[in-house]
Copies of this chain bind each other. A is one copy, B any other.
Amino acid sequence: MSDSWLIYFVTLSVLLQIEWHTMKKHNFSAGPSILPQEVFQKASESVLDLNQSGLSILEISHRSDAFTEILDQAKALVLQHLQLENKGYHVLFLQGGASMEFCRIPQNLLSVGGTAGYINTGTWATNALHEAKLWGNVIELASSADRNFSYIPKNIYIPSSLDYVHLTSNNTIYGTQYRNFPKVDVPLVCDMSSDIFSRVLDFSVFDMIYAGAQKNLGPAGTTLLVIKESILGKTQRTLPSIMDYQKHIAKESMFNTPAVFSIYVSYLTLQWITNQGGISKLEKINRKKAEILYNEIDRNPLFEGTADRADRSLMNVTFVLKDSQHQQRFEELCVSADISGIKGHRTVGGYRASIYNAMPIESVQVLVNVMQELEQQV
């Protein structure tokens, strides 16, 4: 093997590496969505060999020391990031997505003859409410359906007789997000699928938080639940085992084989959050990203936002072209700039830029540049 061949080989490797980084798209997908590059890198290595164990993360037993340590550390990091340590909360990683929890929540929290209250701020909130009705009385406490879910209802009256109140902190499809949460004196359950770990809150006002992993946490396939144990066991129902939060807590997320890889990648992301300086640091960057993009939407005469300004989401920025004749050109410019996943949900139309924790500020700038380029071209 000649030395010149070696030089060629190494040069090629370096070029391929550069090529790969150059080729990386700006992924604005609403979910599954971008995760940190370091997480992809470590996950890729562990699919071949988990920490020099001689085994892939895909083939290790969920009862192995290697995995139970990953699971325990992931749980600890969740409580740490949410500042919920030693406050009676349990962390679960289950399967089925948030939609499965729409089905589990009323079974676990809605007593026979009791009533639950749901605040309806979008498609997912509607689905959650709809599924709960199978188990008893459900009140829609407030709804923003009258203006296509473009705002968050305020000053909601919440009866203290309710078994629990359910709300959706961020509405992925409609680009709205709660700034302040209603004060309640009943258990408060929050679907944080699309904004968990993105901003500092007093998480202890919630009795249950849940989130499909596939936005700020990990790949699709696991759902994070943080539950105050004191709210469970009060419904007088006999539950199927797999529906019973108390059983899952007793078995520490190992009632049956958990989604090992999705939990592992979530663990890597939780570590990344720590390395970034925690949620408070990420929140600052998230606010900056959102500011850059909303400023451009408000400034650029071709675009307008779809959500009320006061309720705009820091995670999902929804906007439309005022004149649909520019649609083709705008989308072509996006493609040339390697922007991916920008199309709005069919119920809102237009565009949606999801700028989750892992989205670099540079990618947001690329989108803003494209919006400005369109303005110059038309």
Residues on A facing B (Cβ under 8 Å): 1, 3, 6-7, 9-10, 20, 23-25, 27, 29-35, 40-41, 43-45, 47-49, 52-56, 58-62, 64, 95-100, 102-103, 127, 130-131, 134, 212, 214, 218-222, 238, 240-243, 255-262, 265, 338, 340-341
Chain B: minimal CB distance from A15 (Å): 14
Chain B: minimal CB distance from A238 (Å): 7
Q: Select A58's contact among B24, B32, B341, beta carbons within 8 Å.
A: B32
Q: How many monomers of this protein are in the complex?
A: 2
8 pairs, A vs B, C-beta closer than 8 Å: A20-B49, A32-B61, A34-B59, A61-B341, A99-B241, A99-B256, A100-B242, A131-B240
Assuming A10-B9, A242-B103, is B97 touching A256 (CB within 8 A)? yes
Name the residue among A29, A30, A127, A258 with the largest chain B CB count within 10 angstroms: A29
- Residues A58 and B29 in contact, CB atoms below 8 Å apart: no
What CA separation (Å) do A127 and B241 show in the bound complex? Answer: 9
A55 partner residues in chain B, CB cutoff 8 A = 24-25, 27, 340
Given contacts A96-B100, A220-B261, 20 further A-B contacts (CB under 8 A): A1-B10, A6-B10, A29-B64, A32-B60, A34-B59, A44-B47, A44-B48, A47-B47, A62-B220, A95-B95, A95-B97, A95-B259, A97-B257, A98-B256, A103-B240, A103-B242, A103-B243, A134-B240, A221-B222, A262-B262
Assuming A44-B44, A54-B24, A103-B242, is B221 touching A260 (CB within 8 A)? yes
- Residues A48 and B20 in contact, CB atoms below 8 Å apart: yes
The 7 closest A-B pairs by CB, nearest first: A221-B259, A44-B47, A99-B256, A95-B95, A25-B54, A3-B3, A58-B219
Nearest B-chain residue to A24, judged by Cβ: B54
A20 partner residues in chain B, CB cutoff 8 A = 48-49
Chain B: minimal CB distance from A300 (Å): 26
- Residues A27 and B59 in contact, CB atoms below 8 Å apart: yes
Nearest B-chain residue to A131, judged by Cβ: B240
A58 partner residues in chain B, CB cutoff 8 A = 32, 35, 40, 43, 218-219, 265
What CA separation (Å) do A18 and B258 show in the bound complex? Answer: 32
Q: Select A54's contact among B9, B23, B33, B243, beta carbons within 8 Å.
A: B23
Nearest B-chain residue to A58, judged by Cβ: B219
